[in-house]
Amino acid sequence: MSPITSYRRLLALAGPGYVVVAFLGRLPLAMSQLGTLLLVSDATGRYTAGGLAAGALAVANAVGAPLAGTVADRIGQRPVVLAQSLAAGLALAALVGAVQADASTPTMVVAAAVAGFTMPQVGPLARVRWRPITHRTGSAQPRLVDAAFSYEGAADEASFVLGPALVGLGAVALSPSGALLAAAGLLVVFGSWFALHPTARLTHAVRASAAAHGESFVTAAFLTLCLAQLLIGVIFGATQTGTTALATAAGTPGMAGLVHALLGVGSVLAGLATAALPQRFGYDRRILVFAVGLVVLSSPLLLAGSLTALVPVVLLLGLAVAPYMISVFAAAERQVPPTRVGAAMTLLAGATGIGYAVGSGLAGRLADLGGHRPAFAVTVAAAALAVVLAAVRLRVRRGPDAAAVTTPGAPAATSRG
């Protein structure tokens, strides 16, 4: 089955409306961090305050996401995502209100943290729905789920390109407050729509019909996948910080966001193409191969001395990012019990957010000391660690799962840890 055929069949199974709603529902998360940074920085005149608020939102989301995913596994996605969408929309509006009321910086930081904690992880939860959506497709299901994860990886990357761009346009056309209120509106409308979509019932049906309850999924093998996602988060944070440092040194700090967005452009294209990979090319091997790709494609960052030279490097680096992430998420979906997939997907997303905070913080300190090259060195080092981690994981997990894409519950020759 070709990738185009797979995507067409997925579209027919879920319906075009679901795909649109699920994409628009994940935009507010991509918009909120930059929107908070701009809003608080503009109001206080201090980037430190804006950074604290944006960081609080990101870390709180990383903490709250797996908790919400666990609850969704138990009672279904519909009530959890609906409550989150409404609560987070109100929290973003409250943050705007606090800023306009000249509230103290701690108050704004707390408001941002509440918004982050309640923000739904639509992308990871959308991944959970594809297996029950495709459950009647017989022998074609593994290939369709593989294509669905390729699409979801590309959609996530596209949202993190489009989201900040919308914030920038909104801040210029309206104001930073208007941009964040637009994100709140999108969340209330499309987050709630995603929650109420009929596909949400399918995930709860899986929980109700599963034979096993209360299964543990936090094994050593799963923790390696969390670490893999943390490292890709470090790569995101360090690359963005290095790009900002180079753009600022060149006297054009506003170009940093546009250049960094190219990482997502390359990633979207590669993510969609991942569906063409053969099933015999197993996820663990994919993770190793694309981790090597991250090292190879990130190393030229150390040589870039201008934004012009940086543009093709960032664009090419994106070609390894989405396939790596797609392979990690897909490996986790196949590895964990079907009743815990929501918790697993959101935990991986949370690990990415923590990694972003670590990468941007470490690279920022190094950039203050030595400019963009030390910051980009963090990117390369994280990619190298990803190779080591993937090699160790593959060595430990030799067997059918490492050799080929298998169906959930298939026996493996090695322990899950």
Crossing angle, helix 341-370 and helix 47-75, to 10 degrees? Answer: 170
The residue assigned the tokens 């987050």 is 191
Between CA 195 and CA 189 the distance in angstroms is 10
Mean pLDDT of 4-9: 86
Does the pLDDT value for residue 410 go beyond 50?
Answer: no
CATH no. of 1-210:
1.20.1250.20
| pLDDT band, very low/low/confident/very high, at 203 (cuts 50, 70, 90) | confident
- Contact by Cβ (8 Å): 402, 282: yes
Average pLDDT, the chain: 84
Q: What is the pLDDT of residues 305-316, one digit of tens each?
A: 888 999 999 999
| pLDDT band, very low/low/confident/very high, at 293 (cuts 50, 70, 90) | very high
Does the pLDDT value for residue 119 go beyond 70?
Answer: yes
User: What pLDDT, on a 0 to 100 scale, did the predictor assign at position 228?
Assistant: 95
Amino acid (one-letter) located at 234: V
> Which ranges of 188-282 would DSSP assign to H, the alpha helix?
192-196, 199-209, 220-249, 255-273
Does the pLDDT value for residue 301 go beyond 50?
Answer: yes
User: What pLDDT, on a 0 to 100 scale, did the predictor assign at position 206?
Assistant: 53
1-210 matches 217-409 in fold: yes
User: What pLDDT, on a 0 to 100 scale, did the predictor assign at position 403?
Assistant: 40
| pLDDT band, very low/low/confident/very high, at 291 (cuts 50, 70, 90) | very high
- Contact by Cβ (8 Å): 314, 259: yes
CATH H superfamily, domain 217-409: MFS general substrate transporter like domains (1.20.1250.20)
Between CA 24 and CA 20 the distance in angstroms is 6
| pLDDT band, very low/low/confident/very high, at 95 (cuts 50, 70, 90) | very high
Residue count of the chain, please give it. Answer: 417
Q: What is the pLDDT of residues 317-356, one digit of tens each?
A: 989 998 999 899 888 888 888 778 888 888 898 898 888 8
> In this structure, how many other beta carbons lie within 10 angstroms of the beta carbon of residue 105?
16
- Contact by Cβ (8 Å): 51, 58: no
Mean pLDDT of 228-250: 87
- Contact by Cβ (8 Å): 163, 92: no
Please spell the DSSP secondary structure of 142-179, one letter per residue: HHHHHHHHHHHHHHHHHHHHHHHHHHHHHHHHT-HHHH
Cα 211 to Cα 11, 207, 215: the distances in Å are 30, 9, 10
| Domain extents in the chain | 1-210, 217-409
Weakest mean pLDDT among 77-86, 159-168, 407-416: 407-416
| pLDDT band, very low/low/confident/very high, at 6 (cuts 50, 70, 90) | confident
Between CA 317 and CA 238 the distance in angstroms is 13
Q: What is the pLDDT of residues 150-186, one digit of tens each?
A: 888 888 888 877 887 787 777 777 788 888 999 999 9
Q: What is the pLDDT of residues 46-61, one digit of tens each?
A: 767 777 888 788 889 9
Between CA 321 and CA 290 the distance in angstroms is 8
Between CA 283 and CA 279 the distance in angstroms is 9
pTM: 0.79
